Amino acid sequence: MSKLAGKVAVVTGASKGIGAAIAKSLAAQGASVVVNYASSKAGADDVVAAITAAGGKAVAVAGDVSKAADAKGIVDAAVETYGRLDILVNNSGVYGFSPIEEITEEHFHKHFNVNVLGLLLVTQAAVKHLGEGGSIVNVSSVVSRITPPGSAVYTATKGAVDGITGVLAKELGPRKIRVNSVNPGMVATEGTHSAGFIGSDLETWAVSTTPLGRIGQPDDIAEVVTFLASDEARWLTGESLIASGGAR
């Protein structure tokens, strides 16, 4: 039996990469999925098409998570389309590395608006609809543990995500809503390819420091998120699961 049969999920930033893999994984386990996107409608439509072709249910919904009205609209779309909400995956995120001398106000606010404020706004909208057994999964990063040079702003946002995860686990626990995070290492996505990470010295370093000897694939992360969203993880809350092949 599908572990998420009858559940409804929202996945932010799901038009490509890790988010797309999460949406497909949740749908494969029976969840009806809202595939959120900020700009890539074509990508989100492709994800929806793949899910429906496999017999699942999904709908693409536009929205900038860093804007309160859009955040509410993403969540409302789930309730209006499927009648309920059980799972929220806060996956939307941006990243860019800059040494301390080159950090600008724009760089700072771009990262914090999406990675931190966006997470808070979508969660704020979602908790009005999540009931007992609800699950929130935040996609953080191993950078909050390994603190690589040049990542002060990005790492700060993911440290914030880890902190928020712990706070909300305690805040929402009495309502029987679980809150956990998944902290990936380097993952081969459209974003890491376009940023030049794949095939670079950075990838070589990442592999050399990963006991399992490779970088991650989107499905590696999606399976962990699906576990946390399911009742199999019913006794887990406030956890940050480092999904990095052993990199620390």
Q: Which residue is catalytic, options 37, 82, 95, 154? A: 154
- Distance (Å, rounded) from C-alpha 236 to C-alpha 49? 32
How confident is the model at residue 228, as a pLDDT?
A: 98
| Residue 227 host element (H or E) | helix 218-229
pLDDT tens, residue by residue, 158-209: 999 999 999 999 999 999 999 999 999 999 888 887 777 788 888 898 899 9
For the chain, the structural domain boundaries read 8-243
Nearest to 145 by CA among 20, 241, 225, 50: 241
Residues 6+ positions from 94 with CB-CB distance below 8 Å: 110, 111, 114, 115
Q: What is the side-by-side order of every strand in the sheet holding 178-184?
A: 57-62, 32-37, 8-11, 87-90, 135-139, 178-184, 240-243
Nearest to 19 by CA among 52, 75, 60: 60
Average pLDDT over residues 31-40: 97
How far CA 123 is from CA of 66, 89, 120, in Å, comes to 12, 9, 5
pLDDT tens, residue by residue, 102-137: 999 999 999 999 999 999 999 999 999 999 999 999
How confident is the model at residue 202, as a pLDDT?
A: 82
pLDDT > 80? residue 25: yes
- Average pLDDT of the chain to the nearest whole number: 96
How confident is the model at residue 1, as a pLDDT?
A: 61
- Distance (Å, rounded) from C-alpha 157 to C-alpha 92? 12
- Distance (Å, rounded) from C-alpha 145 to C-alpha 131? 32
Is the Cα torsion angle 48, 34, 17, 179 positive or negative in sign? Answer: negative
How confident is the model at residue 198, as a pLDDT?
A: 83
How confident is the model at residue 194, as a pLDDT?
A: 76
Average pLDDT over residues 51-76: 98
pLDDT > 80? residue 141: yes
Nearest to 227 by CA among 215, 236, 214, 217: 236
CB atoms within 10 A of CB 54: 11
**8-243 CATH pick, 3.20.140.10, 3.50.50.60, 3.10.20.30, 3.40.50.720:** 3.40.50.720
Active site residue 154: yes
- Distance (Å, rounded) from C-alpha 169 to C-alpha 32? 24
Interior CA angle at 161 toward 159 and 162, to 5°? Answer: 65
Nearest to 157 by CA among 195, 192, 112: 112
Average pLDDT over residues 131-157: 97
Residues 6+ positions from 19 with CB-CB distance below 8 Å: 11, 12, 13, 89, 91, 92, 139
